[in-house]
A and B are shown apart, each in its own frame.
Chain A
Amino acid sequence: MPAREEILGRLKSATKRQNVDRPAKPTLSEITLESQQMIRRFESELSMRTGVLYQARDKEDALRILLDIITADGLKSFVTSSDKIHGVDIASLGSKNGLSVTIPKDFADRNSLRDAAFAADAGITSADFAIAETGTLGIIFNHNHPRLLSIAPPLHIAIISVKDLYPVYENVMEIVFNNTKEIPSQFSFITGPSATSDIQGVEFKGMHGPKKVFVIMIMDG
């Protein structure tokens, strides 16, 4: 008998399978956070994971912060999810400062994208959601936003609007998985940099993914 039928048949023939009554879903304290509290919570959770939140007044301020990060870390080459993110013009920032900036449509095939993502100093990406509960970013990966940009380079800079900040995961899951036809091929939560404690319980950042994560949040939406 084919494996599928044999396994399912055996499971279905099991006796005493009773339906389970679930208790009420437990409440989460974060659900009632108001906007200022959400920002504070997001920042404190993110910084506990060594991520850094910058609050930018507007897109010009965001550009200035971005340039500061680039200068401080001596970054030269970038892969970005778009030449402009929330109005922050990364392409022209690059050309003015002699930096290499590439966007997904610059790449002919997956191999060249892959090579660029692994070679870049940093990935600059948008994020679809920020979640206050744990200082988490939520990113929908699609043709505009390849997966590798936020995981292959040693540094990840995310630019996000305060309008996309939500209290808890459930708020975001409802939006992303609402329409079963349009579920993204991958949706990921990112909370701070890559980390490990696998040797003697000593924690350090940047095991396989980014060593640092910066989040620039534009406050005027």
Chain B
Amino acid sequence: MHSHVNKFIETARKELKNEPSQMFLMMVSLGAPILRQIGMSSFPDIAAAESYSRAIRADAIARLPELLEEFEKNAESKGAKVLWAKNAAEANNIILDIANRGGVSYVMKGKSMITEEIGLNEHLIKNGVEVFETDLGEVITQNLNLHPFHLVGPAINVPLEKISETFLKKGIIKKASTDPVELGGGARKYLRDKFRNLQMGIVGVNMAVAETGTIINVENEGNIRLIKSSPKTLVAIMSLEKVVPTIKDAIFMTRMLTRNCTGQKITSYVSMDTGPKKPDEQDGPEELFIIILDNGRSEIYRDFKTREILKCIRCGACLNTCPVYTKIGGYPYGATYCGPVGQVLTPMLMGIENTTDLYRACTLCGMCKQICPAGIDHPSLLLSYRSRQIDIKKQKGEKTMQSRGENAMASLISLGMSHGWLWNFGLKITRPLMNSLAKDGYIGSIPMGAQGWFGCRDLRAIPAKTFHETWNDLPSLPELSGNTSKKEDS
């Protein structure tokens, strides 16, 4: 699917007026953090659990190349074929080759963000291989040609009437319905024969265990288990950061993943595959291909600052707590990954210069960093992208400010901020003028520009006294201990 990150503001404006989106977002912002909290409360020490999962991810990323080699060695010793792909085109062609060699007419896919990132569906369909998404949310986004609205529930906002209409058109249901259970039941029936006759399946990977060569999938619907059981050929595709050191790390991360994702203590299914089926087994894949995809991540890794993005486990907790995401939803982010994870990852995949709105649409409140079970510091990454963009502009000799006025204003503020007396002096001079513009204690705009700044916020009227003046005018406090007094401090 084509990205439209350049339409961030436009799409956000539209989504702010979109009632179904707004209703769902309200539900998410209220409900999801509570569900997560209930799930996490099963740990006697929640903070200890969080620091442990953060340490696992930090460890995995610090030893990434060694762990990948260990994983490859162990997976191959169990009979899996491990293939490496530098970019989307390579990965897509590897999968197409496997499909062509097997002569399959269709493939079925488990929910996987990485195949969305590389546009696998389009590539296979263009080359004559039909693709069926199987995760209910992805069945809907595939048929409506939508970007994911949410990392975990990609179509959770789509109105029932729209789903019904599309399902009718595609023959997934026979008669119109606005009952979610009937719509889901229709998708179950529609896909069942296809599961039974499946020759080749494609799944993503939640975790790849270096110690054993095992791939782990975490899911509720059972589509992934069917895809890992029914066909003779199975392709598992993972971006290279999915590796964890040991099987015990993997099971601990699973606990953290499900709690942070849906608030569940565990999903309905956690399947752990080590190699293809053994010769005497009656189902499971005869051939297991594991594709390790780079697609820009080794470059992200070489940069010490951006490396930590690779800790992400795609739980989506940062979305549910983000004051920006929970107002505008997933569409404005314009690509596979939305919310804070999209804001830190997409600029690295698509270029700092092409994604300027993504890293500016942030209040730097730090909720994402606080909640992240992988230990990512999103705000500091976003700040670094902002400064990198300015550096790029400077290198190119481009203007870094919008206008001469903005430039002058910035110089003035920077001068004032580096000299306390100058700041106070300036404040005293401008106070009467500024406050003459105030209404009910707020300044809504000023005549000399900065319309953009005032477009979405107000400035408080400037108080009659500075902080220092107020402090000095306070009546003396009774001495608490020793001989400290406010007079001596000031």
Are the CB atoms of A4 and B84 closer together than 8 Å? yes
Interface size class of B (residues with CB under 8 A): 35 or more
Are the CB atoms of A136 and B153 closer together than 8 Å? no
Q: Mark A183-221 against chain B: 1 for CB-CB distance below 8 A, else 0.
A: 111111111111111111110101111100000000000
Residue A72, interface by CB 8 Å: no
Tell me, rounded to whole Å, the shortest Cβ–Cβ distance linking B28 to chain A.
8
Q: Which of A14-22, A62-70, A82-90, A158-166 has 4 or more CB atoms under 8 Å from chain B? A: A14-22
Number of residue pairs spanning A and B whose beta carbons lie under 8 angstroms apart? 260
User: Chain A residues near B283 (CB, 8 Å)?
Assistant: 110, 113-114, 146-148
Q: In the complex, what residue of chain A is closest to B217 when comparing beta carbons?
A: A188
User: Chain B residues near A13 (CB, 8 Å)?
Assistant: 302
Residue A92, interface by CB 8 Å: no
Name the residue in B74, B271, B307 with the highest tally of chain A Cβ atoms < 10 Å from its Cβ: B271
Residue B15, interface by CB 8 Å: no
Known: A18-B62, A185-B275. A147 touches B183 (CB 8 A): no
Known: A114-B196, A199-B163. A22 touches B65 (CB 8 A): no
Cα–Cα distance between A186 and B269 once the two chains are bound (Å): 12
User: Chain A residues near B191 (CB, 8 Å)?
Assistant: 208
Are the CB atoms of B247 and A177 closer together than 8 Å? yes
Q: Which of B221, B262, B277 contacts A194 (CB 8 A)?
A: B221
User: Chain A residues near B123 (CB, 8 Å)?
Assistant: none
Tell me, rounded to whole Å, the shortest Cβ–Cβ distance linking A214 to chain B.
15
Known: A151-B222, A183-B78. A142 touches B278 (CB 8 A): yes
Q: Which of B41-49, B313-321, B363-371 has 4 or more CB atoms under 8 Å from chain A? A: B41-49
Name the residue in A110, A200, A210 with the highest tally of chain B Cβ atoms < 10 Å from its Cβ: A200
User: Chain A residues near B134 (CB, 8 Å)?
Assistant: 208
Residue B109, interface by CB 8 Å: no
Residue A25, interface by CB 8 Å: yes
Cα–Cα distance between A134 and B270 once the two chains are bound (Å): 12
Q: Mark B192-214 against chain A: 1 for CB-CB distance below 8 A, else 0.
A: 10011000000000000001101
User: Chain B residues near A104 (CB, 8 Å)?
Assistant: 282
Are the CB atoms of B86 and A6 closer together than 8 Å? yes
Are the CB atoms of A184 and B274 closer together than 8 Å? yes
Residue B59, interface by CB 8 Å: yes
Known: A134-B265, A151-B225, A208-B134. A114 touches B276 (CB 8 A): no
State which residues 82-126 of A face B: CB under 8 Å.
104, 107, 109-110, 113-115, 118
Are the CB atoms of A23 and B44 closer together than 8 Å? no
Residue B244, interface by CB 8 Å: no
Q: Which of B99-107, B226-234, B470-478 has 4 or more CB atoms under 8 Å from chain A? A: B226-234
Q: Which of B228, B254, B272, B302 contacts A147 (CB 8 A)?
A: B228
Q: Which of B187, B220, B301 contacts A11 (CB 8 A)?
A: B301
Q: Mark B421-445 against chain A: 1 for CB-CB distance below 8 A, else 0.
A: 0000000000000000000000000
Residue B180, interface by CB 8 Å: yes
Are the CB atoms of B229 and A151 closer together than 8 Å? yes
Are the CB atoms of A183 and B302 closer together than 8 Å? no
Q: Which of B62, B160, B187 contacts A200 (CB 8 A)?
A: B160
Are the CB atoms of A45 and B265 closer together than 8 Å? yes
User: Chain A residues near B299 (CB, 8 Å)?
Assistant: 10
Known: A49-B268, A115-B196, A146-B281. A197 touches B153 (CB 8 A): yes
Are the CB atoms of B274 and A183 closer together than 8 Å? yes
Residue A74, interface by CB 8 Å: no
Known: A196-B221, A201-B153, A208-B191. A177 touches B44 (CB 8 A): no
Name the residue in B69, B220, B230 with the highest tally of chain A Cβ atoms < 10 Å from its Cβ: B220
Are the CB atoms of B85 and A186 closer together than 8 Å? no
A-B pairs with lowest CB-CB distance, top 3: A209-B222, A147-B229, A198-B137
Give 23 CB contacts A-B under 8 Å.
A11-B68, A16-B304, A17-B62, A26-B44, A26-B48, A29-B42, A141-B281, A141-B284, A143-B280, A146-B284, A147-B225, A147-B284, A169-B255, A173-B248, A183-B212, A184-B274, A187-B271, A188-B269, A189-B271, A194-B222, A199-B163, A199-B184, A201-B153
* B-to-A contact residues, CB < 8 Å: 24, 27, 42-45, 48-49, 51-52, 55-56, 58-59, 62-65, 68-69, 74, 78, 84-86, 90, 134-137, 140, 153-158, 160, 163, 180-181, 183-184, 187-188, 191-192, 195-196, 211-212, 214, 220-223, 225-226, 228-230, 232, 240, 247-248, 251-252, 254-255, 262, 265-278, 280-284, 292, 294, 298-299, 301-302, 304, 307
Given contacts A3-B86, A20-B62, 17 further A-B contacts (CB under 8 A): A19-B59, A19-B63, A25-B252, A26-B48, A27-B48, A28-B44, A151-B222, A152-B195, A152-B229, A188-B225, A192-B268, A194-B221, A198-B155, A199-B163, A207-B184, A208-B192, A209-B221
